[in-house]
Homo-oligomer: A and B are copies of this chain.
Amino acid sequence: MAASDQPDARPIGVFDSGIGGLTVVSALRRLLPNESIYYLGDTARLPYGGKSPATVQRYSLEIAALLLEQNAKTIVVACNTASALALPLLRETIPVAVTGMIAPGAQAATAATRNGHIGVIGTRATIKSGAYERALREQNAEVRVTARACPLLVPLIEEGWLESEITDKILMQYLQPLLDDGVDTLVLGCTHYPLLRPAISRLLGRAITLVDAAENCAAELRHLLEREGMNAPPEQMGQLQVALTDPPDSFLQIANEALQLEVGEIQLRQL
């Protein structure tokens, strides 16, 4: 039962350090086609993955304020690093509900694992924060977690080398220790990584289940909108507005092609 009888046409605010978060937008569009989305990619200051908690928190608060100015009814932190470092602070500070990537990813992983041993890959900052370990243990205190920072994967994806011998070698350099350790499930703990999913699947084979939080994040948001009675009008055609803090480069085309999102004119916003 909705908390209000009026549908809520306001957009969902989504942000990421760059445009990796468009993998989450893609899942939101499929699951919630009536919802409008205002996406902010902080391309002028990306990447966040090697930066300190204080800096990532400051940036996240600035962006959340901008999304509220855009009349966002709720905010999705479509960036694992910002979710890992800034979610509690955002929830204390922002007057709308905030959904992150970590809890949805942890739920999907604990549901998928058979041997209770889960691998997590992410940026340096995400892994260092221990946020995935905490979220996984909240789901299941018995779970074993092996986490590994993979700082070269984002630049590799932005270079567009999604399938190459070098990519395979870098992936195996990062993933072999997790395999040796016996994980049966691997969380792709960065919103860029789904673009490497074909290569990772090919290298790891079917014995390892890959978990990407985007679908679960979209499902969590759908529950939230229903619970709070904030769904868009059923007749609404959801719009997608993308804003970036620095003009887009070639990666936007890579993301467009890989995600088949219709990204129209891009706004520039200075932060």
User: Could you list which residues of chain A lie within 8 angstroms of chain B, going by C-beta atoms?
Assistant: 43-45, 50-52, 54-55, 124, 151-152, 154-156, 158-159, 161, 165-166, 169-170, 173, 245-247, 249
Q: Which residue of chain B has the shortest Cβ distance to A244 in the bound complex?
A: B52
Residues of B within 8 A of A155 (CB): 151-152, 154-155
Query: How many copies are assembled?
Result: 2
Given contacts A45-B45, A152-B156, A159-B151, is CB(A50)–CB(B166) below 8 Å? no
**Residue A152 contacts which of B43, B51, B152, B165 (CB distance < 8 angstroms)?**
B152
Residues of B within 8 A of A54 (CB): 247
**Residue A50 contacts which of B51, B169, B249 (CB distance < 8 angstroms)?**
B249
Q: Which residue of chain B has the shortest Cβ distance to A18 in the bound complex?
A: B50
* CB <8 Å contact, A247 and B159: no
Q: Which residue of chain B has the shortest Cβ distance to A128 in the bound complex?
A: B249
Distance in Å: Cβ of A203 to nearest Cβ of chain B: 15
Given contacts A158-B50, A169-B169, is CB(A249)–CB(B124) below 8 Å? yes
Ranked nearest first, the 8 interchain pairs of A and B with the lowest CB-CB distance are A155-B155, A52-B247, A55-B246, A44-B55, A45-B45, A52-B246, A51-B246, A166-B169
Q: Which residue of chain B has the shortest Cβ distance to A251 in the bound complex?
A: B50
Cα A156 to Cα B154 with chains together (Å) = 11
Chosen A-B contacts, 16 in total, with CB atoms closer than 8 Å, are: A43-B51, A44-B51, A45-B45, A50-B249, A51-B246, A52-B247, A54-B247, A55-B246, A151-B155, A151-B158, A151-B159, A152-B155, A152-B159, A154-B155, A166-B169, A169-B169
Residues of B within 8 A of A246 (CB): 51-52, 55
Cα A28 to Cα B166 with chains together (Å) = 37
Cα A170 to Cα B161 with chains together (Å) = 11
Distance in Å: Cβ of A3 to nearest Cβ of chain B: 40
